[in-house]
Every structure is written in C-alpha cells, then in structure tokens.
Amino acid sequence: MSPKDIAPAHCPAHRTRTLRRAGLALLATAAVLTVAACGAPPTGTLHTRAGYTLTSDEIPVSVCPADDASRFTGDEGLLVGAHFALRVECVASFDELPEGFQLDYLFGEHASLYSPEPGYEFTLVQFAPETGVEAPFNAEAGELSATLKIGDRAWDFDGEVPAPGEVYFTVAKKDAPITLEVVDVERAQTMDLRERTREGLIQALYTGTAAVDTEVVEGSVDGYTTKGSYEYWFDDWGYQTQFALTREVFEPGTGWVAEPDRALLTIEFGWLHSASGLEWGIDLEDALKVSGPEGALTALTADHADENLSNGVWRTFTLTYDVPADALDFTLNFHPKGPVKWPEEDVSLPITGDKNHEIAVSFA
C-alpha cells in the first residue's frame, strides 16, 4: 500500500487527494497511486478492501457463462424442504473481473474493480433465476431460516431463503469456505459450495413425484346360499374403485412424518360397503397386499370413514406405510372376497366371480 505520514526533511509534505467512491463504490480502473516525496517517489497499488460486499436483487439471467466450470450442473446446487426450494446457479472466484461474465447486471456498464489485497480474491455466488422446483408448503413464522457464508462474511435470512437470481459478491481470503445452511422446522440441510456437497437432505423431496392415482379397477360378483327351505341370492354386484397414493415427509399441523431417509406412503381408496340391504365388508389385511423394492409392506395405520348414501354406505379406507425415500415402485394386489351379508335375513352369501387385481404403481 502507499506509504503514509512520510515527510522527508526540508521537503514539504504534499497532500494526497481524497479518494471518493463513485457509482457502486470502487468502480474504477485499477490504478497506481504515486505519493510525492523528495528523491525517488515511492509507489503503491490501491486494492479493493477485504470484506467489501455487494448484493443484487433478482437478476433474470445467469451472470456466469454457459458451460463455464463455475456453473452448477444437474441437481448438485438444489436444496428443497417443506417450505422452500432453491438452486445455486454458479460460484466463481477471481483476482480480476473475468471475460464472459455478465457483471454489468451487478456493477453497471464498463465496470472494473481495484484488485484485491494479496491473499484475497473476489468471490461471487448466484442463485438460479429458475429453480425448476416448487416448495410444497408456505412457511409460517418461525419455521424457516437460512445463512449464507463466504469466509467471514455472513448473510442471514429469517422466514425466507435467497431469492431466485440474487447475487452475493465479496472480497474474501483465497479459497475461503462457502457454505449455505437452511433450517426448515428444526431440520437443517447444508451445502458446501466449494466442494459441491450436500448434507442432511430430506431425501424423498429429491426423488420421484409426490402423488399417483391408479387406473380404475372393476369387477362383478354373484352370491348364493340356502337356509332351511329358502334360497338367497344376488346377481351382478358390480364394483369399481381407484387407489390414490402419496409419498409425504411433512404434514402441516403435524410436522415431519418421516425420517430424512424415509417417506410416509399413504394409500386411499373407496368401497361400496352396503347397498339395498346387503353388506360387503372387506378385511383390509386380507383384501389388499402392498409390496415395494424390499418386499411385502406392513401397514403402520389402517383407518376408514363412512359416508351414508341414500340406500347404503360408501367406506373410504386410508392406510399408511413407512418406506425408504428412494422407493418409487410398488405393487398392489387387491382381491375383494366374500361373503356378502344379508342382515335382515341373518344369512351370509358366499360369492363367485371374485378375482385379484394386480396394480403396478410408480412415482418415478
């Protein structure tokens, strides 16, 4: 740096002109400042000070060149939680403004900076203008926070995460750590932006879809029995149903419903439990078999809710299963069996024509 307070004997000390920040601060061509003194004039170089920081609101394009090593590829820059979704677009460090970067969005046209002090470098982080993923839910107060750090410089976010397209620029020590931590309802996910590694991921949010509906399955059965000298029968009890499946990790009002490496699989379907005085109750444990990549699944819960119809009851079943987060393919075997009851006559009618429906389901 330029020597200060040096005034040799018999020579008047010259006043160094005051440097003022112009534009976005320090945006001038790197220059050499000569300090006048007697004899050979010493020289020094102006530097952009360590810790100098600049941020920019949402920029609609990537400031880093396409196919540049600074750009993150695939999902390596993606973080997703129950209440947020963000994607790191690029991270770059340099000693002078590089060619090909669209830094006019950050500094204005024809921008240049004094070089950093020795041992320091410019570091830039941009978040992708388009994340390509949506957060499942909106955050309530106290549910979401985040911290971005570049060396000793930190930006804290309360109730939000860095917005799409935002840029964070600072002068930091060479190769200083760059980290991002997002805490979503007490679960932290972190990213090392230098190493491009992530930890604490809620894995099911990064694989597959959240919901799948099967095709409608249908069939028809007949029933017949005798009691004493009486015969009882029905013809052509037609049925049809559809299975709705979801993979969840978080439920509003409940919180996290699965560990970070697991997911809660929920299966819901409806069944005509009774009509015209007849009841066809099905035993869920026997009627529905579910298997996944690791084999047969055992339900955590199995519940039902009844809806009264004009001449019967529609029953909706809900079952839940704990499954691996990366399990995306499942097989349902649905076989509604008899008997059908006729309560008014106190008889049970065995059925014929029943069959198994094998249903393949994929969240991929």
Give the residue from 262, 265, 245, 268 showing the smallest Cα distance to 320.
265
| Cβ 63 vs Cβ 169: under 8 Å | no
Residue 52's pLDDT band, with cuts at 50, 70 and 90, is: very high
DSSP state, residue 17: P
**pTM recorded for the entire structure:** 0.84
Please list the alpha-helical segments (H only) found in the chain. 104-107, 284-287
Please report how many Cα atoms fall inside a 13 Å half-sphere around the Cα of residue 104, on the Cβ side: 5
Residue type, 329: D
Q: What's the CA gap between 121 and 338, in Å, rounded?
A: 76
Q: What is the pLDDT of residue 47?
A: 85
Whole-number pLDDT of residue 51: 92
Nearest Cα neighbor of 26 from 107, 109, 126 is 107
Give the mean model confidence (pLDDT) for residues 224-247.
97
Grade residue 325 by pLDDT with cuts at 50, 70 and 90.
Answer: very high
Calculate mean pLDDT across residues 172-185. 98
- Across the chain, what does the average pLDDT equal? 89
pLDDT, tens digit (0-9, with 9 covering 90-100), for 289-308: 999 999 999 999 999 999 99
Which percentage of the chain shows pLDDT scores above 70? Answer: 88
Question: Where is pLDDT greater, at 15 or 251?
Answer: 251
| Burial state string for 120-149 with b = 16 or more CB within 10 A and e = fewer than 16 | bbbbbbbbbbebebebbeebeeebbbbebb
Task: Say what the pLDDT of residue 10 is.
Answer: 33
- The DSSP output letter for 51 is T
pLDDT at 40: 52
State how far the Cα of 272 lies from the Cα of 302, in Å rounded to an integer: 17
Q: Transcribe 190-206 into DSSP letters.
A: EEETTTTEEES--GGGG
Find out whether 137 and 250 touch, Cβ atoms under 8 Å: yes
User: How do residues 338-363 score in pLDDT, each as one tens digit?
Assistant: 999 999 999 999 999 999 999 999 99
- Band of residue 17 on the pLDDT scale cut at 50, 70, 90: very low
Rounded mean pLDDT, 113-137: 95
Which residues does residue 357 pair with via DSSP β-bridges, in sequence order?
A: 334
Confidence of residue 41 (pLDDT cuts 50, 70, 90): low
Question: Torsions phi, psi of 244, nearest 5?
Answer: -110, 125
Q: Is residue 255 predicted with pLDDT exceeding 90?
A: yes
In a 3-state reduction of DSSP, which class is residue 287?
Answer: helix
